[in-house]
Every structure is written in C-alpha cells, then in structure tokens.
Structure 1
Amino acid sequence: MSAVVGAVLLVAPKEPKPGTAAPSTTYIFAPPPAFGPADVQTPAPDEPGGPGTPASPSNVALPVPDGFQRVAGPGGLVTTIPKGWVITRASGPGAMQATDPEDPSRQVRYGGAPAPANALLQSHVDYEATFSRTKAAFHRLSLGTTTYHGVTAVDWEFEHDTADARRRVHSMYWRVDGVEYFIYAASNTDRWAETLPIYHAMIDNATP
C-alpha cells in the first residue's frame, strides 16, 4: 500500500457459520467476474470543479501523474487512470471500468453508490465467503481495515485461477456520507508488478 493509505491493520474474520445467508442484492461492490461491452464514457476535465467533482475533501487540484488522466466516476468519485485506457460502465451500478487496450486482462474499476445497511468490514467478509466459492484456487492475501482520508476503509487483496491464467485483485472500499466508494485493480499475476503502481496512483489521487 502507498504511504497515503498507511499500514493495513489486518483482520482475521471468523469463518462464516454453515447456512449463512448470501449478501443482499444491494451489495454492488464485489469484483465482477468479467467485463463486457458497454457505453464508452468521457474522462472528467482536469479543471477543479468539473462535472462529478465533489466540493471537499478533494485531490482534484493536484497535478495529474505523468501518463495518467483524471476521470470522474459514479457517486462523485474522482481519480486518475492510465491515458488511453478504454472507459466503460461496469456490470454493477455505481461502477466504471477502464481496460488496457493492449491487454484486456488488465482492468481497473472505480465509483460509488449508496452503502449497504450492514457494516463496512462485515459486508466484505460476508461477500468473500460467497465469492470465494465461485473462484478456483481462491487465496486471500489480505482482508482488513485501514484509515483512508480520515475514515475507516477495507483493504481486500486475493488471487484465483481462471481458465487461462492466475489472477490478482486489489481493492479498497470506504464510506462517506452514506456512499460506499471503491478503487479496484486486476491483472494476471505475471503482470501484477506493472499493475500495482496504477492501483497506487488511483488511491493517491482519489476523492472523496
């Protein structure tokens, strides 16, 4: 994790009891199984105060890192993604996706939507219990809490097998004023070293 995020205080959640109910259908922030065709979206303007830019707190006045562009997502989230990546709507509400045009296996997602009623960490512990059963050779690398922009956030990182390769995913979730925001990055493990700095740039330049 970057210096902005700080050290993650890992939580070792208890294994769910047999018969635990699946997450509510309002849960929208789980990593989707795949991306698909969607309407192309327009990157947000670089000027502070552009469409979708929240009033405060804000990182939108900071310089955009070299090779990146500023984008706005649902819920007023603003972050930076690599220039030239193809932006589409993700499969769930409150989520956008950007895909590397030279390697579609590399993807990032970002956005925000009304938060589920259950607690932040517990909602992701519960979801992982269901999600992990659908992924071959699922292995959790982290699932715990940290502080991000002065609020509690959940840091979740894991790997799993697909038909073609092993995948790695890293995501962060936090809530502000009833909205749950997230940043997500994924790639095949053989390209994760190149993808991790993109995740850090998104985290470092996200608001609120």
Structure 2
Amino acid sequence: MTGPNGVFVSIPQTWTVAPGSQPTNHQAEDPATPGAVIRYGASGSEARPLYDAVAANEAGVKTGYQQIKLATVPSGVEVVEWEFLYTAEGVQRHAFARYWRRAGLDYIVYGASNAADWTQMRQVVDVMVRTAGPAA
C-alpha cells in the first residue's frame, strides 16, 4: 500500500484501508480483529530533533499510559521507536510506532491493538516495519 507523501507498507490484503484522521496518514483495520489498526504516512519535518518530536507525543496519552520503549535506533538517518500501553474505553491497548526522517519528511508506521491481541498483531507490525519505505 502506498500512503501520503510516498510512504509504502506491506499489510494483509484482507485489511480495509481508508484516509486517516489526518490528511498526512492512511489507516488500515483488520475486519477480523476489532481494534487492530495500522496508520502510516509522512509530514514535513519539524525543526527539533526527531526524538524530541516523538517524546512530546507522550503528554497526549492520558489514560493508563505505560512506556515500554522510547529510543533512537542506530541507522544512517534519524529513526525513533516508541512502544507503549494505554487504556481506551476501559480496554488496555498496546501500540508500536517507528518514525524516521528523510529528505525533509517525518515518516511514521504505527500499529495498535487490544493488549490481549498483541501477540498476533505484533507479527503484522513486524512485517510492516521491516518493509516500510522509502527505506530508512
């Protein structure tokens, strides 16, 4: 699938894809697993380092937030991974995002599901992260 600003990802063919909540991303949902979602896209880079931009998002996660990982990943470009738990509508959710900066754009691939479904969802997220491009 190709998304905004040329980002592309590999996701299961059975997932439905629609424009995301922001014009800079698309969202895919698994019709067989309620709450399983992938978002992918890109927007103009901020002036601050990518890690700082991602870390600022933590303040927006209000309910049941638990950081699992927020770290820069060694690479030829700026790459940050953020993994966390949060609560939405009384259900614990698990999320993972990989951000990278290239040629004036900040790219993101993000996957989330109910925590009880994370083992299955993690396999989808791993493929998505491994195949996302433009290559980091």
Confirm or deny a common fold (TM above 0.5): yes
Determine which of 51, 66, 80 is the counterpart of 2:10.
80
- Secondary structure of the 1:91 match is coil
Aligned length: 134
1:124-143 to 2 correspondence within 5 Å?
Answer: 124-128=54-58, 130-132=59-61, 134=62, 136-143=63-70
1:6-155 to 2 correspondence within 5 Å?
Answer: 71-128=1-58, 130-132=59-61, 134=62, 136-148=63-75, 150-155=76-81
- Secondary structure of the 1:81 match is coil
Q: Is the 8 A contact 1:110 1:184 kept in 2?
A: yes
Could you tell me the TM-score, scaled by structure 2's length? 0.93
1:183-202 to 2 correspondence within 5 Å?
Answer: 183-202=109-128
What is the aligned-residue identity percentage? 31
- Give the aligned partner of residue 97 of structure 2: 171
Q: Going by fraction, where is strand more abundant, 1 or 2?
A: 2
Where does the alignment leave 5 or more consecutive residues of structure 2 unmatched?
Answer: none
Shift of residue 183, structure 1, vs aligned partner: 0.7
Give 1 or 2 for the bigger CA radius of gyration: 1
Q: Going by fraction, where is helix more abundant, 1 or 2?
A: 2
- Give the aligned partner of residue 48 of structure 1: none
Q: Is the 8 A contact 1:138 1:159 kept in 2?
A: yes
Deviations 1:148-179 (A, max 9, x none): 5x212010000011224100000000011001
The one-letter amino acid paired with 1:165 is V
Q: Is the 8 A contact 1:139 1:159 kept in 2?
A: yes
Where does the alignment leave 5 or more consecutive residues of structure 1 unmatched?
Answer: 1-70
- Secondary structure of the 2:56 match is helix
- Provide the aligned C-alpha RMSD in A: 1.2
Q: Is the 8 A contact 1:151 1:175 kept in 2?
A: yes
* Cα distance between partner residues in 2 of 1:104 and 1:89: 18
The one-letter amino acid paired with 1:81 is I
Large movers: runs of 4+ above 2 Å: none
Q: Is the 8 A contact 1:159 1:166 kept in 2?
A: yes
Shift of residue 104, structure 1, vs aligned partner: 3.0
Deviations 1:168-200 (A, max 9, x none): 000000011001111100000100000001111
- Secondary structure of the 1:201 match is helix
- Secondary structure of the 1:137 match is coil
Q: Is the 8 A contact 1:169 1:186 kept in 2?
A: yes
